[in-house]
Amino acid sequence: MKKQVTWIWTMLCILLLAACEKPVLENYDGVKPTGKSKSKSTRIVRIHPTELVVETMETPMDAKGQPLSRADKVEKKRLYAVNVYEKKPGEEKYQMYAYGLFTLQSKISIKMNEKNLYKVECLIVEENPGRLYMGKDGYDVPFLHGTKELTKASNSFVYSKEENLSEIKKGDTKIEDGRIVHYPRLVKLYGSIDDFSPKAKTDLTLDMKRTVFGLHFKVAPPEEGTLVINYVGWRISLGKDSPIYDDASPYSFNNIENACQPDHQATLEVKIAWTKDDGTSEKVTKKLVVKRNIMTVVDIKVEGPKGRGILFKEESGEMKTENVDWHISM
């Protein structure tokens, strides 16, 4: 009898202990919640910066001025600078949430709360034909973060409410030779989206727009002396025995956000100086209109007194090419 009573009391104690025990669950992040914490519904969202509307220059060129098609296998290094902003329910403005610099598009994924809305912006920089400056601590403009600190391409996000990649919409770019130029010989694409809800889907596609124009210079060597052409931070120098200069390249506009507009254009200064054998120098400054996603071909030839006036020839249309001929009498 005593054994039965003991057994019954033992079973009752086990049942009471089991009833009093509370289950300990882990949330989505693998962290055990405390009494003060509330469970959050978060999702991993993959970001796909994609040039949805494929925009091409009808006469794209590489650095040597030879035709280049999209089918050509040219190794082009791309960097993806991404800023993410968050807006919680009841808030009117977005707050900084995360930023990152990537070399692999497949690595661009981020944790988002289903209850919140997000704004995402991205700048793609394609190194061709120019190259970006990279120090031991990372990349300079346009990839500075915080108080103008260099940024490493870590292929991961930094979660921060105080800093991000604040320079990506500015055109200034530090290139391989250490100079900061306003119009780098690089291809830049920019895109952004507001009010993205991770509750609806876990894949976000950004429509990236090209922010570039093209310049194709064809310059005949001077009859004598030296001919120097300066334009937006770049320089061409020819002597009388130099071969004909024939070079084409894409350039990025200085105002990235405005340059996304289809009809964006800018007026650049081209300074031409001809120093003759007797030491005399002739100078002229020309205005050149460049247009988004259009390759402008500029023919320049300087002549002595036998020249007559300056001839301009501009042509644009379905070919997306414009020609400017400058026959300059000096």
In a domain, 63, yes or no: no
**Residue 36 counted as domain residue:** no
131 and 47 belong to one structural domain? yes
Q: What is the pTM of this model?
A: 0.77
Counted domains in the chain: 2
CA R_g for the chain: 30
Which of 185, 210, 235 is where one domain is finished?
A: 210
Asked whether residue 249 is assigned to any structural domain, the reply reads: yes
Asked which of 210, 233, 250 is the last residue of a domain, the reply is: 210
Q: What is the pLDDT of residue 240?
A: 93
Q: Are residues 178 and 82 in the same domain?
A: yes
**Three-state secondary-structure class, residue 250:** strand
Domain annotation covers residue 144: yes
Residues 197 and 297 reside in one and the same domain: no
Residues 86 and 198 both lie in one domain: yes
Q: Is the residue at 6 inside a domain?
A: no
Residues 206 and 299 in one domain: no
Same domain, 225 and 204: no
Say if residue 206 is in the same domain as residue 217.
no
Q: Hunting for tokens 């031991």 — which residue is that?
A: 136
Are 91 and 153 in the same domain? yes
Residues 266 and 202 grouped into a single domain: no
H or E segment at 290? strand 281-291
In which domain, by residue range, is 121 found?
A: 42-53+75-210
Strands 321-329 and 295-303: parallel
Report helix, strand or coil for 175. Answer: strand
Same domain membership, residue 249 and residue 203: no
Residue 25 lies in a domain: no
Which amino acid belongs to residue 29? D
**Dist CA 93 CA 328 (whole Å):** 55
| 143 inside domain | yes
Q: How many residues does the chain have?
A: 330
Planar angle of CA 10, 16, 20, nearest 5 degrees: 145
Read off the pLDDT of residues 76-87 as tens digits, 9 standing for 90 and up.
799 999 999 999
Burial of 181 (0-12, 13-18, 19+ CB in 10 A): buried
Is residue 114 within 8 A of residue 198, CB to CB? The reply is yes
Domain boundary residue, one of 180, 210, 240: 210
CA atoms within 13 A on the CB side of 170: 14
pLDDT at residue 322, rounded to an integer: 74
Chain-centre distance of CA 189, in angstroms?
5
**What is the tens place of the pLDDT at every residue in 124-171?**
999 989 999 999 999 999 999 999 999 999 999 999 999 999 999 999
Q: What is the DSSP letter of 294?
A: -
Q: Do 186 and 141 lie in a common domain?
A: yes
Neighbouring CB atoms inside 10 A of 91's CB total 11
**Does the residue 97 lie in any domain?**
yes
Q: In the chain, which stretches have pLDDT less than 50? A: 2, 5, 16-39, 53-73, 307-319
Q: What is the pLDDT of residue 303?
A: 81
Q: Could you tell me which residues come within 8 angstroms of residue 255 by beta carbon, excluding any fewer than 6 positions away?
A: 171
Q: What are the φ and ψ backbone dihedral angles of 126, each rounded to 5 degrees?
A: -105, 120
Both 120 and 252 in a single domain?
no
